[in-house]
Structure 1
Amino acid sequence: MAERILIVEDEKSIARVLELELTYEGYETGVAHTGAEGLIQFRENDWNLILLDLMLPEIHGLDVLKRIRTSDSGIPVILLTAKSDVKDKVAGLDLGANDYITKPFEIEELLARIRACLRLSSGTSSNDSYRFGNLEMNETTRAVSRNGRSIELTPREFDLLLYLMKHPQQVLSREQVLNAVWGFDYYGDTNVIDVYIRYLRKKIDAGEVSTYIQTVRGVGYVLKEQTNEAEK
C-alpha cells in the first residue's frame, strides 16, 4: 500500500508541483490550501506524513502543528517555510515538527527528507537498543559501538548520544537538547552542549569515513550522516 502524504500549502502552484512530484514517486497525496482545511483533512483521513506550510490563511501553520500534536504525537511533520528567521523554525521544532525545509528548495532534497522521516516513523529501534548506520547503543547495558569498535562514554556523553539516537534525522534545538539531557532546572553555561558535542564527535567519528552529528547553524544539532569532506 502506498504511503499517504498530506500537503498543506496555500500557494496553489507549489501545492500542485508537490502533488505531481509525490504522485510520480509513488505516494498517495491530499492537498489543503488553508490551515482549517488542513486540520479537517488530518482528522478525517489517515496519513503517513504531513508537509505543512507555515504562512497559511485562516489558521497559522504553527497553530495547525500544535493542534496536530495534541491528538497525534507520532505522525512525521515537515515544515515548509519561506522565512529566514530562525525563530519560526525553532518554534516549529519545539512544537514537535520533525524537520523543516526553506523555500525555494530542490525537490530531490525534499524527497530525501520525506524518506528519512518515513523510515524513522516506521521504527528503527527495538526495546532498549538503537542503531544509526554502523553506530549501535544499548540503553540498559550502556554499551556503545561503531563498526564493531567499542566506545567508552561518560554518563553525560551517553545521555546526550541516546537523546540524539532517539531522534535520528530530526533537527533538535539547543533548548530541546539542554532540557532533555541537563534538565529544565539547569542554569549553567549553555556552551556546555557544544563542549559535549565535540567530545562525542571525537569518540564516535574516530577513524571513520563519515560523521554522524551535524551542526545546524542558528538552530541546534541533527544526527545525520555526512562524509568527512563535508563541514561538521
Structure 2
Amino acid sequence: MHLLVVEDNPSLLNTIVQFLSDEFEVDQANNGEDALYLAMKNIHDAIILDVMIPEIDGFEVLRKMRKEGIRIPVLFLTARDSLEDRVKGLDSGGDDYLVKPFQAAELKARIRALLRRSGSLTTDQTIRYRGIELSGKEREIIVEGEPIKLTAKQYELLEYLIQNKGAILTKEQIYDRIWGFESDTTIAIVEVFMHYLRKKLEPFGYHADIKTIRSVGYMLNDE
C-alpha cells in the first residue's frame, strides 16, 4: 500500500513517516503545492493531510483533488479540533479526521479502515479479477485454480492493474507507484515488466486483458 503524508512540521513528519514505513510505502510533502502535485498523480492508496500547511491549506488541496476527479481517501490530521473544522473537513470530501496529538496505533488503525472501505485493502487481504486471485497477506497468486510464481514487482504490477481495472494507467503512474520517485531505474522498466507479466499470464489467456494504450500506458479490461 502506498501512502502520501503531508505535514509541515519536519519533526512530526519524520516521526509519522518512520512509524508508517514498517507497514506501508510512504511519500511525503511539507506544503500544499507539493501535496497537490503528488496527489494529482493518483498513485496513492490514501493521503494523510494536515490542514494548516504553507501555500495551499489542506481543505483547498482536497477541494482541487475532488474537482479533478481524484477519489483517493483522505484522512485529515490537524490540531484544529473545533466541530466547525471537523464538519468542514468531512464536507469538503475528507473521509476521516484525526486531531493532534494522536497515538500511532490509532492512526494506523484509521488508515487500514480507510483502505478497507475504499477497496484497496480488503478484510481478507485478497483481491480478485475473473479467474485470478491475489492473496496480499502471503503475496500468492492463483490463476484458474493453479498457483503461479511472480517476482515482487510483477505481483505489485498485477495488483495495481486489478485495483484500477477499466482505467488507463500512464507509464509515469505505474513507474512512480511500483518503483518510486527515487528509483535509479528508468521509466523503460515499465515496458519490460509488463512484457514479462503478460508472458506469465499467457498460458491462461489473461495476457490479452492487458491493453496497451499507444503513447500513454496500459489498461486492464474491466470485468
Structure 2 length-normalised TM? 0.52
CA displacement at 1:18 relative to structure 2: 1.0
CA displacement at 1:63 relative to structure 2: 0.4
CA displacement at 1:84 relative to structure 2: 2.2
Once the two structures are superposed, residues 143-194 of structure 1 have per-residue CA deviations (whole angstroms, 9 ceiling, x without a partner) of xxxxxxxxxxxxxxxxxxxxxxxxxxxxxxxxxxxxxxxxxxxxxxxxxxxx
| Contact 2:42–2:70 (CA under 8 A) maintained in structure 1 | no
| Contact 2:48–2:77 (CA under 8 A) maintained in structure 1 | yes
CA displacement at 1:90 relative to structure 2: 0.5
CA displacement at 1:21 relative to structure 2: 0.8
Q: Partner amino acid for 1:112?
A: A
**Alpha-carbon distance between aligned partners in 2 of 1:92 and 1:84, rounded to the nearest angstrom:** 11
Aligned residue runs from structure 1 range 196-211, under 5 A = none
Q: Partner amino acid for 2:18?
A: L
Query: Which residue of the other structure, out of 83, 92, 105, is the alignment partner of 2:80?
Result: 83
Residue equivalent to 1:30 = 27
Which structure 2 segments of 5+ residues have no match? 123-223
Aligned identity (percent) is 41
CA gap of 1:86–1:45, structure 2 versus 1, over 3 A, is same
Q: Partner amino acid for 1:19?
A: V
Once the two structures are superposed, residues 83-108 of structure 1 have per-residue CA deviations (whole angstroms, 9 ceiling, x without a partner) of 12221111110011000100000000
Q: Does 1:115 align with 2:112?
A: yes
Residue equivalent to 1:95 = 92
**Alpha-carbon distance between aligned partners in 2 of 1:40 and 1:76, rounded to the nearest angstrom:** 16
Once the two structures are superposed, residues 58-98 of structure 1 have per-residue CA deviations (whole angstroms, 9 ceiling, x without a partner) of 00111011011112353110001101222111111001100
CA gap of 1:118–1:57, structure 2 versus 1, over 3 A, is same
Q: How many residues align?
A: 122
Residue equivalent to 1:74 = 71
* Secondary structure of 2:75's aligned partner: strand
Once the two structures are superposed, residues 5-31 of structure 1 have per-residue CA deviations (whole angstroms, 9 ceiling, x without a partner) of 000111111111111111112x11110
| Contact 2:78–2:99 (CA under 8 A) maintained in structure 1 | yes
| Contact 1:49–1:118 (CA under 8 A) maintained in structure 2 | yes
Superposed structure 1 runs of 4+ greater than 3 Å apart: none
CA gap of 1:57–1:119, structure 2 versus 1, over 3 A, is same
Which structure 1 segments of 5+ residues have no match? 126-232
Once the two structures are superposed, residues 174-225 of structure 1 have per-residue CA deviations (whole angstroms, 9 ceiling, x without a partner) of xxxxxxxxxxxxxxxxxxxxxxxxxxxxxxxxxxxxxxxxxxxxxxxxxxxx
Q: Does 1:15 align with 2:13?
A: yes
CA gap of 1:120–1:56, structure 2 versus 1, over 3 A, is same
What value does the CA root-mean-square deviation take over the aligned residues?
1.8
| Contact 2:45–2:120 (CA under 8 A) maintained in structure 1 | no
**Alpha-carbon distance between aligned partners in 1 of 2:100 and 2:30, rounded to the nearest angstrom:** 17
* Secondary structure of 1:55's aligned partner: coil
Structure 1 length-normalised TM? 0.50
Residue equivalent to 2:103 = 106
Aligned residue runs from structure 1 range 126-137, under 5 A = none
Q: Does 1:44 align with 2:41?
A: yes
Q: Partner amino acid for 1:15?
A: L
CA displacement at 1:124 relative to structure 2: 9.7
Which deviates more from structure 2 when the two are superposed, residues 97-106 or residues 79-88?
79-88
